[in-house]
Amino acid sequence: MIDVLGAGTFPLGNVLFSFRESILPAKIIILILFAGSIYAWTIMITKYLELKRARDASIRFLDSYRRQNHPVKLYLKRQAFEESPLYRVYEMGCAALGGELETGGVDTDDLFVGELSASDLELKHHQVETVRHVTERNVSDESLLLERQMGVLATAVSASPFLGLLGTVWGVMDSFGSMAVAGAATLSAVAPGIAGALLTTVVGLLVALPSAIGYNLLTQRIREIQVQMDNFSQEFTAALRTAFMRIE
């Protein structure tokens, strides 16, 4: 009894005491949750930095792209923005455009020697649509890359409380079973075991809450970049129509 009161004097001591009094399955669950928490925090930090770099690079790319007087001039300058998913969509769209021009007998190596005007080249409607489909497909591919490992966070959010609850129920059952076997119904006999059992729920919530907040914040950032990619795909296709299609 003195040990219980002494352990409860400090929060850390209380946690350590509860962990020591936990049954083996509860200890295993706590260790699994602890390892899952470290993994979840690692994902949240690395994903946040990845999305920040992607957003900053995309802002620089859009600024450079919109300064050009032709939709593919930035691509031909070989000015790369590798960390921007918008640039990767643009790069694949320009590559598809080059393929469509080559089918029409255009030498893309000499394409932009000097200024290119709308009268120099012409694309058919179906060729522009082919480029549009390529950019849209790459928007989907980039979205999948942005959402990579987000499923782990979603799993941590949904599974952690249930793992904690499992440990609590298991520990409470063990405490009451031990009390019945010993024939002691005093609080001092059952309190340590119940305290250890409740610790798993606390740990489960401590894993789930930060993961839920991080998941929502990261999902919002991913959604913003996805909308940017969709808008850019439409903007790029419209610019190609203006530059390469003649009005009948």
pLDDT value at 2 more than 60:
no
Of 1 and 3, the structure prediction assigns the larger pLDDT to 3
In whole angstroms, what is the distance from residue 46 CA to residue 172 CA? Answer: 38
Q: What is the largest CA-CA distance in the chain?
A: 97
pLDDT value at 177 more than 50:
yes
The band of 10, judged by pLDDT with boundaries at 50, 70 and 90, is: very low
Which H/E stretch holds residue 133? helix 125-146
The pair of structure tokens assigned to 2 is: 């003195």
**Tens digits of residue pLDDT in 77-94:** 888 888 999 999 999 998
pLDDT at position 228 is 94
In whole angstroms, what is the distance from residue 63 CA to residue 157 CA? Answer: 38
pLDDT value at 69 more than 80:
yes
DSSP letter for 112, please: T
Per domain, the residue ranges of the chain are: 2-244
Q: Global pTM? A: 0.79
In whole angstroms, what is the distance from residue 176 CA to residue 180 CA? Answer: 6
Residues whose CB falls within 8 Å of the CB of residue 111, separated by 6 or more in sequence, listed in order: 76, 98, 101, 121
pLDDT at position 119 is 46
For 190-212, b where at least 16 C-beta lie within 10 A, e where not — what string? bebbbbbbbbbbebbeebbebbb
